[in-house]
Structure 1
Amino acid sequence: MDFSKEWKFFLGEQENGQAVEFNDADWDTIDVPHDWSVEASFSEELEGATGYLPGGIGWYRKTFEAPHHPVAYLHFDGVYNQATVYLNGEKLGDHPYGYSPFYFEVSDKLKHGRNVLAVRVDHSRYCDSRWYTGSGIYRSVELLGAAKTHIPVWGTFVTTPKVSTEMATVQVQVEVRNPDGATVATSIFDPAGNHVAEHSMPASKAIIQSMEVANPMLWDVDGPNLYTAVTTVSVDGGAVDEYTTRFGIRTIRFDAAEGFFLNGKNRKIKGVCLHHDGGCVGAAVPKDVWRRRFAALKAGGCNAIRIAHNPGSSEFLDLCDEMGLLVQDEFFDEWDNPKDKRKNMNEQHDDYISRGSAEYFQEWAERDLKDTMRSHRNHPCIFQWSIGNEIEWTYPRNAEATGFFDADWSGNYFWEQPPHSIDEIKRLLKELPRGEYDIGETAQKLAKWTKALDTSRPVIANCILPSSSYESGYADALDIIGFSYRRVIYDYGHRHYPKLPVMGTENLAQWHEWKAIEERPFVSGTFLWTGIDYMGESNGQWPITTTRSGLLDRAGFEKGSFHMMKTLWSEEPHVHLTTQTLEKSPYHTNNGDLGETDPKAWERKLWVWHDVNTHWNYNDGEMVAVEVYSNCASVELFLNGESLGVKHLKDFDDRIYKWAVPFKAGKLEAKAVNVSDKLITAGIPVSIQLVADGCHVIAQLVDAEGTPVKTDEREISFDATGGRILGVDNGAPDSTQDYQSNKVATSQGRCLVVVEGTCNVSASAKGLAGAHIAVEAV
C-alpha cells in the first residue's frame, strides 16, 4: 500500500498524539513526502547554517484499513529526524538518523478494520547539520504485505561478477523467511522485456542463483540499460511471493596509475556534489524536480553525482539509474566527534540545537550504514561507497599534525604543500593526545561493515587533510582516497603512496581544478562543489540563504560556471555569451584588450563564479566586458552585423574569450563554426512568456518583440487550476520570499513555479499581459 495520501499533521508537541482515539479532526490534511520547514517564512533570527528556516516538533497520523497478510512491514525511506513510530497506540521504535531508510515488521500489530499509524518527529535541534535538512516525513512511506514464506524487505542482491560483450554472469543473492519446503525461481528480463535467463532451486535462508546472459546490454552513462530480475517463491507448486529487482550489467575498476574504467573504457569522472534539497520544495523533492536538474547537468557534460553528505532517496537513485549518472553514496558527515555547524573550523560546540548525528553515532552507525546499503546496493548507478566527509577536523591531533593550524579558506590551504614532512606528521601522530576515539580505528570499522555487505564497489572518503589521513590509518581503510580541495597535492599522494588510487571528491567549479585532473591520468576525476546552489551554510550572511557555488542556481537556471564546465566536459561545440559593465567585472582595459591585474589570477579562483549577465542592455557608450565561454578554437564577435574581431582560444590561458565593447543598442553575437550565441537589446516588458518543463513552469518577462527582459523585475502571481502549487522561486540567493506562495518577484526577469497534477497554469503581473499554459501530470 502506498501511504502517500491523506495524512493528518500537527506542528507542535501533542500529548497522546499516538493514541488510537485521539481526535485529529482539526489537524492539517497533507500528503507525504512532506517538509514542514520549507512551508515557513525565512527569519534572520534563525540559523544561517540551515538556511534561516525553522525546525520544531511535528506529529503525523494516518488512519487506514489494511488488507490481511500473514506478514506485514512498514517501510520509511527517510524521516528527518529523531522519529518515534507508533501503531495502534503501541510504540514500534525510534529512528534518530534523518537520512537512512528503516522499517518495522508489524505482522502481529495490525488489526482487522481500523488502524492508526502515528509518527512523532523531533527536529527541535534544527541546526544539527551545516546545510538545510528539512523536517518531517520527507521521503516515501509504504505498507508491504507478504505470505509467511517470503523475501523480506531488501532481501535480494544482484551482482555481475563476470562481464564481457558476449556473456555476463548474473548472481542473485536471495534471503528467504520460513524457507522450509519452498522453491525459489528467478527470471531475468532484458530492457525490452524479453526473457533471457532463469534459475530455480530449493529455498534456504540465503541462496545464490547464478545465470548467464548472452550478449548483454551494458549499463553505461551513455546507455543506461536496465534489466529486471523477478524472483518467485513457491510452496507446494503455488506461488506465494514475487519480488522484483531492477539492476544493471556493468563493470567498474579504479587503477592507481590509469584512473577509472567503466565497462573497460577509461573515462574521467565529471561529477558534481549535491545536497538533498530541491529549492522551493525543500527536502520533499518530487522526482520530476530531480529529472529536470539531472537533465541540465547531463547536458553540461556531467556524468556523476556525489550525494553530499548523506544517503539519498530511493527515487533519486532510481532516476540516476534511468538517466545514466554514476553515484557516490555517502553515509556520514560526522563520526565520533561533532562538527561545528556555524563556522566549520572550530569543531566543538555546546548548545542544544546544533547537536547532530555524532550524538548517536556509537549506537546507530552500523545499523544506519547497513540498512542504507541493503536498500541501495542493487542500483547500478552506485559505483562508490563513501564512509565520511571531511572528518579529520573533528579529531584534533590529526588536524594539528598536518601543520595547517590556521587553515585559511581563501589562502594557504588551497595552494600549499603540507607544511610538515611525512616523518614529522608520523611523529606528531604518535606524540599528540589521541582523544577518546581514533580516526583510523573508526575508519577501519566502517570499511569492514561496508565490505561485509558489498565488495563489488570500492570504499572511499572525502579527505580534507589527506597528508595526515595517509599516516593515521584512515587511508589504510580505503580503496580510493578522495581529496577535498587539495588538487595541489595530487602528485604528492601519487608519489608517496602509489598503490592507492586518488581522485578529487570535492573541488572548485573552476578551470584550474579540471586542468590539474586532465593533465594527470592517475586522477580518476572529480566532484565539483556544487552542481546546484543549496540552502544553508549561510552563517552571518542574511539575507543570503543559499550557498552560491552551484553550476545551476537554486531554481535550476544555468550560471556562468555551468557553461565554463560544459566547454571542458562536453565534446559538443558550445558558445555562451555574457556581459558585464567594466566597472563590475574583474577586468581592466589595456590598449583595448581586457585583462586582470594578475594574469595568473584564474589559477586561484575559488567558490563563486564572478558576476556576469546574459543581456545587452547598458547605457550608450558604456564600456562593457564581453566574455565568451567556448570549446571552439576561434570565435568572432559581431555588434549589429559588424565584426569586432576573431580571437583564438589558445591565446587565453583562462579559457575565456574577452572583448571590451562600448555599448550600442542592437544585437551582440558570438559565432564559431556551426554554433553561435546572441543577445538582443530588450525594450520595456509588456507580457509574460511561459514555458513548461514537466512539473515546472518558467515565467520570463518579454518586450513587444518577444525579447527576454532581464533588467526589469515584477511580481508575478500564479494560479494552477485543477492542480496544486508546490512552490515558487526566482533562484536569487538573497531572496527571502516565501516558497509556499502563489506569487514571487522575478530575478533577471524570470521566476519558476512548481506544480502538482494536470492543470492549467496562468501567470499575471500588474501592467503586463498575462499568459497561461497546460501542464500534464508527471
Structure 2
Amino acid sequence: RYRTPFGIRHVTIDPDHGLTVNGEYTKLQGVDLHHDLGALGAAFHADAALRQLTIMKSMGVNALRTSHNPPAPEMIEICERLGIVMLVEAFDCWRTGKNPYDYGRFFDEHSEADITEMVRAARNSPAVIMWSIGNEIPDSTSTAGLGMAERLIDAVKKADDTRPVVIGSDKYRSLPSPGSAADQMLAKLDGLGLNYNTAASVDALHARYPHLFLFESESSSETSSRGAYQEPEHLNTGENHTPGKREPSAYDNNLASWTMSGEYGLKKDRDRKFFTGQFLWSGIDYIGEPTPYDVFPVKASFFGAVDTAGFPKDMYYLFKSQWTSEPMVHLVPMDWTGHRPGETVEVWVYANVDTVELFLNGHSLGVRRFDTKKTTDGRTYLETTEATGDDKTVTTGPYPGSYTSPNNSAGKL
C-alpha cells in the first residue's frame, strides 16, 4: 500500500497564447533559488524553506525553478501548501563540467538513473508543471550533446509523459544557424528557457520556432545591497570597493555584462502574451558565486531581491509593484542615513496605484501619475511616459537607452 497526497489542476502552455492554469491566463511570476538557507548553510530545514517561500509569495511569486538540482521532498510540499507551481530541474552540466569536481565525472554512468529518480520523486505533485534537463549546458549546442539530450528526454518521458520537457539556456541570445546542433536541439524540446535575452531575440526565436513555448529561466541578475544608492542617472554603475563596504547600487542600475535591469525584464515579459513568464535570478542572495565581489571575505552573491537574512531589498518592491494587486507604494532610497543635509536626492517610487504624492517633513513635493496603457492583446497596465533609460541594448532612436513597447507606434514609452 502506498499513500500519497494529490491535487487536481489543469495546465496548458501554448506557444502563441501562453500559460493557463485551470482555464485562466497566467504569467509565471517566478524566482530561481539556490538550495542553501543563508547562515543556516546547505542542510535542508523545512521551517527555513517555508520562511523563504513565504517571503517570496509576499512579493507576488507564484512559481519556483529549482536551480539547478532536484528539490527536497519537503520543498515540494511547501510549494503545494502555498500554491506555488514548480519547474523541477536537474543538472548544471552534462558530460562537460564547469568545475574540476563537477557532475560531469558521473554523467555517462548515472544521469539517466538520477533524472528518473528526480521525476519519480515529484511526479505525483500538482505543483510540478514542467521538467528541465539542465541549465546553461556546455554540451547542449554540440553534436554529441544531441544524443545526451535524447537519453535524458527519453528517461523523463518514460517516467512521466504528462508534463513538458525544457532546458534553461544562455546559448540562444541570437538565432542559431539552420541545421546546426543548437538548431536541432530545439526540435527535441517542448519549451525553451532563456537566460538574459533581449526583447528582440525573444521575438526572433518565437518567429523561427513556432512549436516552442518560451519563458525567461533567468531574468535580471542585477546586483544590489540594502541601503546602497549610487548614480541613479546611469543604467550601469561601478561597485563601491571601499574596504568594509563593497556595496552595489540599489537603483536597479548595477548590472553585469550579460544582464538587463529588473524593470526591462518586467516590461519584456508583460508585453508578450505568448511569453510564459520569467524566473528572477535570484529571489534570495545565496552562498557561492560571489558577485560582483569575488574577493575575500565575500562569499555570497548580491543577485537577490531579498538578502540572506530574509530582509527585502528595493528590487523586492519593484517586482511586488508589478506582481501584486493590493495597493502598495515604496520609496527608493528606502532610507536617508547615507545623505548629507541639503543634498539633492533622486527619489523613485515603485507603486501599483495610478497616483502618488511625495511629502518631505509634511510639505508636498508634488504629485505624479501613471498613464493607463494596454498591451497588443488588450491587457491594461500603468506606466510612465518619460524616457526611463532602462535598456542598454538600444543606442539610437527618439529615446536611446529606453525600452519601447510593441504597442507604441508613436515611439513613446
> If the length of structure 1 is used for normalisation, what is the TM-score?
0.41
Return the match for 2:349 from 610, 613, 628.
628
**SS in structure 2 at match of 1:523:** coil
Structure 1 counterpart of 2:16, one-letter code: A
Per-residue deviation at 1:390? 0.6
- Match in the other structure for 1:458: 164
Corresponding residue to 2:29 among 270, 273, 280: 270
Deviations 1:351-391 (A, max 9, x none): xxx32100010000011111111111111111110001011
Report SS of the residue matched to 1:635.
strand
Quote the offset at 1:647 in angstroms: 1.5
User: Contact between 1:462 and 1:484, CA under 8 Å: does it hold in 2?
Assistant: yes
Q: 2:188 aligns with which of 458, 468, 477?
A: 477
Cα deviation code 1:581-610 (max 9, x no counterpart): xxxxxxxxxxxxxxxxxxxxxxxxxxxxxx
**Paired residue for 1:124?**
none
Is structure 2 residue 117 aligned with structure 1 residue 371? yes
C-alpha contact 2:220 2:280 (8 A) present in aligned 1: yes
Alpha-carbon shift at residue 624 of structure 1 (Å): 2.3
Q: Is 2:86 the partner of 1:327?
A: yes
- Structure 1: runs of 5+ lacking an equivalent: 1-241, 342-353, 399-433, 580-612, 657-778
**1:359 is the counterpart of 2:105:** yes
**Match of 1:494?**
206
CA offsets 1:75-129 (integer angstroms, 9 cap, x no match):
xxxxxxxxxxxxxxxxxxxxxxxxxxxxxxxxxxxxxxxxxxxxxxxxxxxxxxx
Q: Take 1:388 and 1:617, find their aligned partners in 2: how far apart are those partners?
A: 43
What is the 5 A alignment of 1:396-411? 398=141
C-alpha distance in 2 between matches for 1:469 and 1:543: 44
CA contact (8 A) 1:247 1:379 kept: yes
CA contact (8 A) 1:463 1:469 kept: no
**TM alignment of 1:168-183, pairs within 5 A:** none
Q: Is the 8 A contact 1:334 1:358 kept in 2?
A: yes
Asked whether the equivalents of residues 469 and 475 of structure 1 are also in contact (C-alpha less than 8 Å), the reply is no
- Once residues 194 and 54 of structure 2 are traced to their aligned partners in structure 1, the CA distance between those partners, rounded to angstroms, is 27
Question: In 2, are the aligned partners of 1:633 and 1:648 still within 8 Å (CA)?
Answer: yes
Q: For 1:337, what is the secondary structure of its paired residue?
A: coil
SS of 1:576's equivalent in the other structure is strand
Structure exhibiting the larger radius of gyration computed from Cα positions: 1
Q: The residue matched to 1:542 in structure 2 has which SS? A: coil
Secondary structure of 1:367 counterpart: helix
* Partners of 2:339 and 2:8 in 1: CA distance: 55
Matched, 1:641 2:394: no
Q: Which amino acid aligns with 1:253?
A: T
Please identify which structure carries the higher helix content.
Answer: 2
Q: Does 1:570 align with 2:331?
A: no
Tell me the equivalent position of 1:523: 275
Q: Supply the distance in 2 between the matched residues of 1:644 and 1:540 (Cα, whole angstroms).
A: 41
Using the TM superposition, give the Cα deviation of residue 469 of structure 1 relative to its aligned residue in structure 2, in angstroms.
9.1
Partner of 2:216 in structure 1? Answer: 504
> What CA deviation, in whole Å up to 9, does each residue of 1:321-377 have, x standing for no partner?
1111111110111111111x4xxxxxxxxxxxx321000100000111111111111
Q: Which residue of 1 aligns with 2:405?
A: none
CA–CA separation in structure 1 for the residues paired with 2:357 and 2:67: 40
Matches within 5 A, 1:655-666: none
TM score, norm. by length of structure 2: 0.76
Structure 2 CA distance for partners of 1:388 and 1:294, relative to 1, 3 Å = same
Alignment of 1:277-296 (within 5 A): 277-296=36-55
1:491-516, Cα deviation, whole Å (9 max, x unpaired): 11111111211111111160111111
Deviations along 1:548-607, one digit per CA (max 9) or x if unpaired, are: 11111111110111100111111221101232xxxxxxxxxxxxxxxxxxxxxxxxxxxx
CA displacement 1:134-169 (0-9 Å, x = unmatched): xxxxxxxxxxxxxxxxxxxxxxxxxxxxxxxxxxxx
- Cα distance in structure 1, aligned partners of 2:339 and 2:330: 19
Higher strand proportion: 1
Q: Which moved more, 1:317-326 or 1:496-505?
A: 496-505
Q: How far does residue 651 in structure 1 lie from its aligned partner after superposition?
A: 4.0
Letter matched to residue 532 of structure 1: I
Letter in 1 for 2:15: A
SS at match of 1:247: coil
> 2:408 matched to which residue of 1?
none
Query: What is the rounded CA distance, in whole Å, between the counterparts of 1:477 and 1:362 in structure 2?
Result: 20
1:448 corresponds to which of 151, 154, 179: 154
Q: Which residue of 1 aligns with 2:302?
A: 548
2:190/2:211 contact within 8 Å kept: no
Alignment of 1:744-755 (within 5 A): none
CA distance in structure 1 between the partners assigned to 2:177 and 2:112 by the alignment: 22
**Aligned partner letter, 2:152:** L
Provide the secondary structure at the position in 2 that maps to 1:246. coil
Q: How does 1:290-309 map to 2 (within 5 A)?
A: 290-309=49-68
- SS of residue in 2 equivalent to 1:644: strand
Distance 2:389 2:356 in 1: 12
Q: Secondary structure at the match of 1:442?
A: helix
Give the Cα separation in 2 of the matches to 1:453 and 1:617.
56
**One-letter code aligned to 2:206:** H
- List alignment gaps of at least 5 residues for structure 2: 222-261, 371-383, 391-413
Percent of paired sites with the same residue? 36
User: Which range moves more in the overlay, 269-278 or 496-505?
Assistant: 496-505
Residue 533 of structure 1 contacts residue 551 of structure 1 at CA under 8 Å; is this kept in 2?
A: yes
Greater RCO, CA 8 A, separation 6+: 2
Match of 2:243 in 1: none
- Number of residues of Structure 1 aligned to a counterpart in Structure 2: 329
